Each structure stands twice: as C-alpha cells, then as structure tokens.
Structure 1
C-alpha cells in the first residue's frame, strides 16, 4: 500500500496530556491510554492528506496518535466521528491537537466503562471490553470479526505488558494476566504459530481447538466466501482467506516469479478485516505483524491477489503492518526475520532466485527496477505511485536474511487440519 504523511514525533509533552486524562477520568487503568496509542501509531500524530495515488481501494485514512478513522468507506466504524461528537469538538480540532485527542479518547473510554458498570477503578484486564468499543472493526457479530477485535486488544495489552520508550515518554512494564481477558482457546489462537479461519462456517481453529461459534448468521450473498482449504502454502502462517471479490482464482496459466514487499498503512487486525471487505477490491497473499512477526495468509499463492496493478499475475504480495512515514518504529527484527523466512519458502516453492533480492539503498519515492530483481518493494514496480516500503526498510539486512551465509535450521509449525 502507499504512504501517508505523519507529523514529526513530539512526545516530550505527551506525558502531561496523559496524566491530565487520568486525573479527569480515573476509571481508566494507568498505562492503557499510552499502550493504545503506541499500538495504533507508535505515538505519531498521523495527519494523512491522501494515500498519495488517488486509489479508492486503499484502506481508510487514520488520524492522530490513536489512528482513528473519519470515513470507514462503509465498512469500518467511523470511530473518530463518534469520539469527537462525545467531546463536542470538530474532527479538525481533534486532528490538529494531540492533547484534545488524548482527552477525547479518554472521555470516550470512561463513558463506555460507566455504561458497562465496571466500577470506579477497574483492572486493566476488565477494560478489554471497553477497548473493543474504540476499535474500527465492524460489530457484525461474526466469530471472525470478534476475533479481529481480540487481535486489536491483544496488541494493546502486549505493549502494556512489555512497556516501551519513545522520546521523553516511557511506559514501564505492567503485570497483565492475559488468561483473565481471553478464553483459553482464544488466547491460544492469538499467540499460535498456525491458525485457520473458515469464513463459510464462521470458525477459527488453532492447535486443535475451535473457538466458539457466534450466534450470528453467516452471510449468504453472491460473494460468499469459499471454504478454507485444509493447509496453507506456508505452514507457519495463519489462514484467513480474503473475500472472493478481492482476488482472482488462478493466474491464467502464469506462475509467480517475483515477490512484492508492501506496507499496510494500517494495523494488522485492521488489514485482515479490510481484505475480507467485499467492496475493498484489494488483497495480498500475506500480512505480517510488527510486534512478533506473526503471519496471516489471505490468498493462496497459486491465485492472483490484487496488490500491484498490471504486475499481479506474476507476483506474490506480502503486507507488513505499520506506516511508511514511521517505518523505523514498525519494521522490527521479528518482522524482518519472519518475513524473510516466508520469502525463502516462496523462493523454494516457485524456484525464485533469492539472491536477486534488491539490496540497494532505501528511497522515499518510486524507483522502478527491472523484472529481473525478483524481490523488491511496491515502489519499485512501474505504472504506480505507491512508495512502500519506503525510506526505512533495510534492504541489505533483508537480503542477508533471505540469503543466510551459512546453513540454518528453520522450524516449521504445521497448521494442517487433521480432521
């Protein structure tokens, strides 16, 4: 996907804003606001003007340190509109003032906590149901989007548990009991190396456990999702098939010869949900999470995902969680390592020469490269204006991981359905 402008990081004064929010809204557990903002934006006050290419298929724009959405394109919730309305401020006031963003989100969360009758000082674990209300994920009642909500909160609690430091703002690690937040099966799935999501049956399976099926009715329109296959192309990946409206079955006789590196311009959970939006008209084969390198497969490698215009028929696309303009905070060692292992597997499966990975300097704009450079970024393909993965992607490091100097042992976690 493409980049959006992000304002310069100015976190030195943010601590005072968070402290003010906790004084005004004491029902919010300490650290939850910072962890939510860190999970959403790495504390960057995102101010996108456009996705840069006029592409109507791109994910909705996200604003501020909480990455809220003003126009969800009829799919995501317009959480920015909801939050600002409660505080009696305009979206523009919200976008331009980090203090107002923090106070408005705090007021929203405090109001939700009051509605849920959580008491004066609920625990962080009890606040999970409140955080879900802030997420942009649709509340359609399906097991799949309920799981996407859990992915959203799981990231928040992970950062709260580990702590982080950004400029003048530091969040010390907190003791978080994840087993008090998520049912055992859900927690296994959130952290499992291999998961299958069956949209036709509205089921999620990991490590032999099925998540409980929701009471909602599975959509039965003409674009109903096909049943998930029993194994993935890449065993460590999570299987989460994109809407059948967003990719082409088969490749018209062609085979993959190239791999495209993308940046989501959004969150891991949001990207997974968006690719299952029948109106999105976009998809990629894989999505990689920033914090730990977890991988979800959206489209089978033998099929054509819609991610790089005229080059779709011979490419495999890998999205990476985060934003181009702040990629230095999103492109983690875990992400590089996991993504490179995936590319090695793709190269083996399709006889692609891994040594042809681009290893030149990163750039902030388009830089078209010949087709013989088999592993490269979206910005390197002709006929588009996308600039991901951008200036912060370390191509030399990535190429070295794809082509290790010595033999390595790669652990594989099977996700085949044995039933």
Structure 2
C-alpha cells in the first residue's frame, strides 16, 4: 500500500520533471481516470493508469457488440429475424495514434511499456512527457501559467476534429477553475486546489490543424462535440431492408427510455458497422478517449439495438466505445461526462425521468418473450459506475426515506465494493478485483447460501453463478425493490418471484431507504403473469395488422409479493414490418400495464391483475 500523499507527490514530481504546470497534469488525469490506477487494469479502450496511456494492441475483442449471442437486436417477430455476421477487426498496426499513446510515452520518457502500464508514478511521468512534447510541437514555451497549455491539452485528447479537442480542453480548464478533491480506488487522497482566475489561451486551438466535423442533422446539446454519420435506410432485396425503421416520434410513439450499451468494437469498426445497411443501428456512438459523439439515426426514427421491439420503439440507444476481451474494464471520465450531458438533453427533450426505470442498461431490457430471455445481452455490466453517472446527471442516488423503509434503492460504494466475478478472460477464472455497482442475491442470509435462480436463463432450475455475464442473481445501483425481510446485516427483497437476500450491514450499507409505489396481485389471485413487453389486447388490432401474442415470461408474481412500480402505460405496438412506410401504424389498446423492477431487468404486468399502494 503506498504511503499517504504518495500520489500527490507523484504528480508534483512529474510536473517538475517535464515543466508542466501541476494543475494541468492533475486536471488532465482527472478527466481521464479521476486519478484512479485501477490496479493496472486497462480501460475499455486499452488505456492504462491515471493518465490513460493507451496500448490497445492486446485489447481487441473477438466480435463487436451486436455480432455475438442469440439476441435479435430488432426484437420483433413481425418480420424475419435478422442475424448479423461477425465483423472483421483491424490489425494492431492499423490502430490510430490515440490508441497507442503508451508507445509514444515510452519513447519520450525512456520508461518501459511494462512500467508505464503497471507503475503509477511512471504512468504519470509518461503523461507529462506527452503533454510537454505537444507544447513544444505547437511552438509554445514551457510556461508556468496553466492557461498557456490549452493547445497541448486539446492535443492530448487524441481527437481528430477541432470541436472535440476544444470541448475536452474546456472540460480540463473547468476542472482547474473549480478544483477537485477525491480519495482514489487505492485510498490515496488527492487535491487540485481551485484556480478560478485561470484564463486559457483558446486561440491556440487554431494551430492544431484538425478537421471540422460535419454537424448537419445532429441532435445534441451545445456542450458536447457531435458529428453526423448517418446509418443507411436501404432495401436489400427479397423484402429485406436495413438498418432501422422510419417513424415520427414522439407523435407516433412516446420516447420513454434511454438505453446504455457498450460497443465491444473499436471506434472505426463501430462506425463502419452502423453504416452497413445489413447490420443493425443505434442513435449515438460515444468515443472513450475524448467523449466525442457521433449520431447515426434521427431521434424520430427507431434504431435496432435493444433486442426488444417494444423498448426499441420507445427508446434512444447510446453505444459507448469499448472493445476489451475482458469486460472487467473501466470507462473514462471524458466519456461519462459527455454521455451524461447527452442523456440530460434527451431526458429534457422527451420528458424522460432521470431514474433507473427509464435510464436502462442493455442488461436491464427484458426479453420480449420467454424464448428470447437467454439470448439478451448483458452490457454495460457490473462495472459501469451508475452512481457516478447519476451524479453527473444531476440526480445523485441519495436516500429518500429512513433506513428501515419498505423500499430500498441499491447503492454500494463503488470503489470499495468488489464482489468476485469470474469469466472475464476465461470461463470460471476469477476476474481482476474491480469496483462494482451490483450486489449479489442469495436464497438465505448467508454468503454460503446458493444464489437465487432465474427460470428464464436456466429453465432446468440450476442456480445462478458469479460469471460476469450472468444477471440471474444481481441487483444494480439505482434499482429499487420492495423489502421482503431483514435479518441482522442482511436485507431481503422480492426478486423474480422469490425472496432474495443481499449483505447490507449498517456500517457499510449497500442500499438506502426509498419511497415509492408498490404493487401486488389482487386479492384472490395466487399469482399473475409477467411480460417483457406491453402489447395491446387482440381486439385492439385492425384487420390488416397481425395480432402480436402477449407471450408471458417464464416467471410468476405471487400473492403477497410486492414490486416497485414505474410507469402506468397503455398497451402499444408499432407495426413497421416493411421498407415502405405507408403501412406503418401504432396500435393502442384499452389494456393498461405497470412497468416494475422485477429482477435485474424490468418487466410489465397488467394493471387489471394487481393492486397498487404507497410503500
């Protein structure tokens, strides 16, 4: 364990060695990693250490996000299921310089690549060396004034367009002006004192020689750098088409959800795929190294991304760059911040509540049918920092009720909460220790008790596992559940039709009290069915629109059980089976549904089956 104050001294030493103002070095590092070292583990784009020096050559995934697994990204049985082929990955030598900065840091500092990856002090020196080189190449002196380093900071971003580079630099200088203090993932206290009077030389951006990104057609807030790279809407022959559906949202259907994904592909491959009419689509891609955003599908149209047509028709999909073989990776602060700004913009535009029943991970989207449950994707997984994300959204996940409330919201301390996961690199092999926002759920209040079962994932009745992609016994930060019992340091919740226990000691709580509405089966009902989509009753469909089966999921909500209520929604189906949009229409029924937090994924129950009360 490093001595107290060691990390602060490492920044001071590196700044002095390379003539970089310490505040600049600290602020750049904060925007990349929040000063965390992550135990030497790489980020989703192969970035190492507090300075996020990139060495992505050994971090390429085997297949992009939508090219593996059994999920049909469109998630609608009204047309033939589209399967997408595995996409080719670039050779390491073809990776852009922004993904090979560790190599350059080794050349400049004389430190070995291994030390730059694993030694925190070396990593900081490598980052300082890159900043100093950028300052020299731009023809600026090694000034002690932080404001004189604007151009070098913008270049450090690795962005190839002016808007992204300057947005990145503006964020760094905002951090310098406001200051930061934080305890890192290895217990180091670091402080950047505020410097509200710093004046960055923004005119230096003109000397970067970067391109101007095409912004026509983008729907983004002014606080991010956004580029228009459209996904094609084309006929493919034999009645097939791709790679999204035309609509007129919110007039045709309301936008109620924002879905967070990761790509499992490089940025260049991600853009190549979304521009392929035979692939699938999403609305936005976000680049890890600098937070750059590309929009692909107009918000009024429906992307094929979530694996559930009901959710697709009512959501916006955000793909975050990441392509490690091991999913136990971390995301840069730059990407978290631009993603949060985009989500705040979308939420305000469509009146989407900023909570975990509307801001979903792909791993929270239910299978539309029982047969689809096992094929649903599991990103962004247990290492996405939902607590920090909601702080950036301006909706921190704080208690709204006392500690003995009838509803709890999952909220472990991310950096200190490190449950064991397996399967990151090889099946059954332990993942590297890593902060996590998810708690594990047992059948009894004991770490030795079996994990709860998921009848959809394992119809044979097998127990859930600790595999990183197994969502069968997992509750995630921000999700709220009705309390089923308490015993000592353990709390039980209702989950997938059963009682599920998680460790929740008073001294180190992993959940906070919450208010909310809950539902339970109406009196006299032994149980009620649960659905993965809220489709209308058969009588609501016109003669020329095929009736969509309600198709309950393989779970039951039993008498006496309670689940936290989200929206009350009408049964709704967007009929869009063909390239010709003249027959597209929205079918709405009389039957209403409640969205609930049923397991790790959300679900729906008929309003006529349940009684709703205040918790």
2:157 pairs with 1:135: yes
Of 366, 369, 377, the match for 1:369: 366
Q: In structure 2, do the counterparts of structure 1 residues 306 and 127 end up closer, same or farther at CA, with 3 Å as the change threshold?
A: farther
2:257 pairs with 1:259: yes
Aligned pairs for 1:13-52 (under 5 A) are 13-25=6-18, 27-46=19-38
What SS is found at the alignment partner of 1:279? helix
2:149 pairs with 1:161: no
Q: Which residue is 2:317 aligned to?
A: 317
What SS is found at the alignment partner of 2:257? strand
Deviation at 1:90, TM superposition (A): 3.3
Of 114, 124, 148, the match for 2:164: 148
Q: Distance in 2 between matches of 1:299 and 1:9?
A: 48
Q: Distance in 1 between matches of 2:270 and 2:24?
A: 29
Q: Deviations over 1:113-150 (max 9, x none)?
A: 34444335342122112223322223xxxxxx111111
Of 187, 191, 216, the match for 1:228: 216
- Conservation of the 8 A alpha-carbon contact between 1:287 and 1:295: yes
Q: Distance in 1 between matches of 2:228 and 2:515?
A: 28
Q: In structure 2, do the counterparts of structure 1 residues 243 and 118 end up closer, same or farther at CA, with 3 Å as the change threshold?
A: same
Larger radius of gyration: 2
Deviation at 1:101, TM superposition (A): 0.5
Q: Distance in 1 between matches of 2:108 and 2:121?
A: 16
Deviation at 1:337, TM superposition (A): 9.1
- Conservation of the 8 A alpha-carbon contact between 1:14 and 1:169: yes
Deviation at 1:319, TM superposition (A): 5.9
Question: In angstroms, what is the RMSD of aligned CA positions?
Answer: 5.6
Deviation at 1:238, TM superposition (A): 6.3
Deviation at 1:163, TM superposition (A): 0.4
Q: In structure 2, do the counterparts of structure 1 residues 79 and 257 end up closer, same or farther at CA, with 3 Å as the change threshold?
A: same
Q: Distance in 2 between matches of 1:252 and 1:359?
A: 23
2:48 pairs with 1:63: yes
Report which of the two has the higher share of strand: 2
Q: Distance in 1 between matches of 2:328 and 2:35?
A: 14
Kindly tell me the number of residue pairs found equivalent between the two proteins: 325
What SS is found at the alignment partner of 2:191? strand
Report which of the two has the higher share of helix: 1
TM-score normalized by structure 2? 0.41
Q: Distance in 1 between matches of 2:244 and 2:258?
A: 18
Q: Which residue is 2:226 aligned to?
A: 240
Aligned pairs for 1:4-403 (under 5 A) are 12-25=5-18, 27-46=19-38, 60-71=45-56, 74-75=95-96, 77=98, 78-138=100-160, 145-167=161-183, 168-178=189-199, 180-182=201-203, 228-229=216-217, 232=219, 240-244=226-230, 250-251=244-245, 259-262=257-260, 274=267, 278-279=271-272, 281=274, 284-286=282-284, 299-305=297-303, 307-308=305-306, 313-314=312-313, 315-318=315-318, 339=343, 342-343=346-347, 345-346=349-350, 358=357, 366=363, 369=366, 383-388=376-381, 389=384, 392=387, 393-395=477-479
Q: Distance in 2 between matches of 1:114 and 1:355?
A: 44
- Conservation of the 8 A alpha-carbon contact between 2:150 and 2:202: yes
- Conservation of the 8 A alpha-carbon contact between 1:286 and 1:318: yes
- Conservation of the 8 A alpha-carbon contact between 1:263 and 1:320: yes
Q: Distance in 1 between matches of 2:380 and 2:106?
A: 31
Deviation at 1:66, TM superposition (A): 1.8
Q: Distance in 1 between matches of 2:256 and 2:321?
A: 21
Q: Which has the higher contact order (CA 8 A, sep 6+)?
A: 1
Q: Which residue is 1:193 aligned to?
A: none
What SS is found at the alignment partner of 1:31? helix
Which ranges in structure 2 are unaligned for 5 or more consecutive residues?
Answer: 58-89, 184-188, 234-241, 275-279, 388-476, 481-511, 517-565, 568-615
Q: In structure 2, do the counterparts of structure 1 residues 215 and 48 end up closer, same or farther at CA, with 3 Å as the change threshold?
A: closer
Which ranges in structure 1 are unaligned for 5 or more consecutive residues?
Answer: 1-7, 52-58, 139-144, 187-210, 219-224, 349-353, 373-379, 405-419
